[in-house]
Amino acid sequence: MARSLLAIATGFVLIALLSFGTDVALKSAMPSLYEADGSTSSVPLLVLTIAYVGLYATAGCYLAARMAPSRPIRHAVILGILGLIFNIAGAVAMWHTAPVWYHGVSLLLVMLWAWLGGRMREQELANASSHRTVPV
């Protein structure tokens, strides 16, 4: 149980640190794309944000699945559900900072990223077991 919780917490922290860190870096590097309240309507920036959050979420869910003591995809999906809860809360709190389509797309993709991270680990395990040879 402790290893499962550690796996999920580690994946969550990885996603949060990378996402928030990239957000801060982008705001520092391109302040002209943001309003004073932190909002933006820049479609390229919003698409970029969806892409890097997706990459980080997939990596975090893969990490959780890799650290899991068993059932890797289950751990990735649990992390995805946790991420979905936090993303819903964030969308409600930050509704004014981006167009509606951005919030909708972001919420719709959360579980896809989680499944993809867990599936990558399952595929890795399947490939490893199919390459094992039996000594003669």
Number of domains within the chain: 1
pTM of the predicted protein model: 0.91
What's the alpha-carbon Rg for the chain, to the nearest Å? 17
Q: Is residue 40 part of a domain?
A: no
Q: Is residue 39 part of a domain?
A: no
Q: Please report the pLDDT score of residue 60 as a whole number.
A: 98
Q: Is residue 136 part of a domain?
A: no
Residue listed under structure tokens 């969308």: 91
**Nearest Cα residue to 113 out of 50, 48, 26:** 50
H or E segment to which residue 50 belongs: helix 43-67
Q: Is residue 72 part of a domain?
A: yes
Q: Is residue 41 part of a domain?
A: no
- pLDDT tens for each residue of the chain, 136 residues long: 999 999 999 999 999 999 999 999 999 999 999 999 989 999 999 999 999 999 999 999 999 999 998 999 999 999 999 999 999 999 999 999 999 999 999 999 999 999 999 999 999 999 988 876 656 5
Q: Is residue 112 part of a domain?
A: yes
Which residues span the domain enclosing 121?
A: 2-31+47-130
Task: Return all residues near 46 (Cβ < 8 A) that are at least 6 apart.
Answer: 40, 98, 99, 102
The helix/strand/coil state of 69 is coil
The helix/strand/coil state of 10 is helix
